[in-house]
Structure 1
Amino acid sequence: MPRLAWSTIDTVLLDMDGTLLDLHYDNHFWLEHLPQRYAQLHGVSLAMAQLELQPLFTDNAGKLNWYCLDFWTRELNIPVRELKLETADLIALRPDADTFLAAIQRAGKRVIMITNAHRDSLSLKLERIELAPYFERLISSHDYGYPKENAQFWDALQADIGFDPARSLFIDDTLPVLRSAQAYGVKHLLAVCEPDSRKGAKDTEEFEAVGDYRELIAGL
């Protein structure tokens, strides 16, 4: 478990899905629930639905469209927002994420959420999990027109909030996003050991990973 030099960190940038919230909700929705409902609404088999959806998922992975509910509603001709409500009971906080948020807020750190989630997804989750009070800002990459994987996202973030990358901590569960932040110069980077509670630990490759938020605030 990494020990952070908190005295060298002013700004804490945090992802939402898979970092603060259990990624099981999103994985279940996109990989299981949506294909099933797509099959029902279009009158095709589940196997055919998966065959139709897979190329679209592959083509849009890592792009802003991947995270855009408006895009998928148009592309698939199904009411994606309404379908996401059908599984909203699965939205859950990762263990001790709120303890971590409260601690860094008390310590006077600048705490900002940066998520690729569409504003409608963000609103849905904030209605069920009280995260907003912990943050100075809640920023969706859709506000800027670039996903976090894109270098232009970080330029837009800098122009918006004026942070020092060398004195910032960023935690995210997506490795291409962490690499994008690293290329921009964000010094303190952490992946997430187990973003989906049903899938076990993941390989975070070159990045140290947080497994227990209580240990992360040691020395704060």
Structure 2
Amino acid sequence: MVLLPWHEIDTVLLDMDGTLLDLHYDNHFWMEHLPQRYAELHGVSRTMAEMELQPLFERNAGQLQWYCLDFWSTELKLPVRELKLETAHLIALRPDADTFLAAIQRAGKRVVMITNAHRDSLSLKLERIELAPYFERLISSHDYGFPKENRQFWDALQADLNFDPARSLFIDDTLPVLRSARDFGVAHLLAVSEPDSRKGPKDTGEFEALGDYRTLIEGL
């Protein structure tokens, strides 16, 4: 069980994909649906599609364009926004994430979403899962021009929100992002242990693992 010193936390910063929402939607789209539609629309085999996509994915991982639908639409010559709608039925909340959000909101914490998701992806998901009312702000890294992996994102966030990193909690499912937050000085960090409900638990490295949101509510 994760026991947080809630009396030392004023601001709660939350990722979206894999943290509040099941990462299965994104993993399925990028690893299964997109290669299949790429093959169909470009008239190549599924194997050839994967051979062409894999180097592009590896080259852009962790950079802002990795998360940008405009970039991928141009790069792949595909209507990526429209393709994402084809699997939108898979968008789902992680268990008890809404219970946690309601509890920290009632407790008077400042709650801010910080996501690398492109604004179009964010809008698509918020149309299906009612998350916006729980948050003071919904911030995409595209607003600042830097992904969360980059120190400049955190400098921009600090300038925008004027929050105290020493009195903040940040929850994410990506270790490079959590390390970037730690280097900036965010004091309380948790890594989601099972961001994709179909893939089972993953290694959370040096960070304490979060499995059940209900355990975080203790002591609020």
Structure 1 residue runs of 4+, over 2 Å off?
none
SS of 2:191's equivalent in the other structure is: strand
1:59 is matched with 59
Q: Deviations over 1:51-103 (max 9, x none)?
A: 00000000000000000000000000000000000000000000000000000
Which residue in the other structure is 1:217 paired with? 217
Give the deviation of 1:2 after TM superposition: 1.8
Report sequence identity in percent. Answer: 84
Matched, 1:116 2:116: yes
For 1:98 and 1:108, locate their aligned partners in 2 and report how far apart those are by CA, in whole Å: 16
User: Which AA in structure 2 matches 1:143?
Assistant: D
Aligned residue for 2:71, secondary structure, equals helix
How far the C-alpha of 1:209 sits from its partner, in A, is 1.2
- Counterpart CA distance in 2 for 1:52 and 1:194 is 29
Task: Give 1:150's aligned amino acid.
Answer: N
1:44 is aligned to 44
Deviation at 1:189, TM superposition (A): 0.1
Compute the displacement of 1:152 (Å).
0.1
State the alpha-carbon separation in 2 of the partners of residues 73 and 219 from structure 1.
46
Show structure 1 runs of 5+ residues with no match.
none
Alpha-carbon distance in 2 for matches of 1:35, 1:46: 7
SS of residue in 1 equivalent to 2:92 = coil
SS at match of 2:139: strand
**TM-score normalised by length of structure 1:** 1.00
* Amino acid across the alignment from 1:53: L
2:35: which partner in 1? 35
Partner of 1:137: 137
Is residue 69 of structure 2 the alignment partner of residue 69 of structure 1?
yes
Q: Which deviations, in whole Å up to 9, do the C-alpha atoms of 1:158-204 show, x marking residues without a partner?
A: 01010000000000000000000000000000000100000000000
Partner SS state of residue 171, structure 1: strand
- Cα distance in 1 for partners of 2:171, 2:215 equals 15
Given the two structures, how large is their TM-score scaled by the length of structure 2?
1.00
Aligned length: 220
How far off is 1:110 after superposition?
Answer: 0.1
Read off the aligned partner of 2:122 and give its amino acid letter: L
Partner of 1:94: 94
Separation in structure 1 between the aligned mates of residue 103 and residue 129 of structure 2, nearest angstrom: 18
- Residue by residue, what CA displacement relative to the aligned partner does 1:9-36 show, whole Å, maximum 9, x if unpaired? 0000000000000000000000000000
Q: Partners in 2 of 1:215 and 1:158 — Cα distance?
A: 29
> How far apart, CA to CA, are the structure 1 residues paired with 2:4 and 2:197?
24
Letter in structure 2 aligned against 1:2: V
- Segments of 5+ residues of structure 2 without an aligned counterpart are none
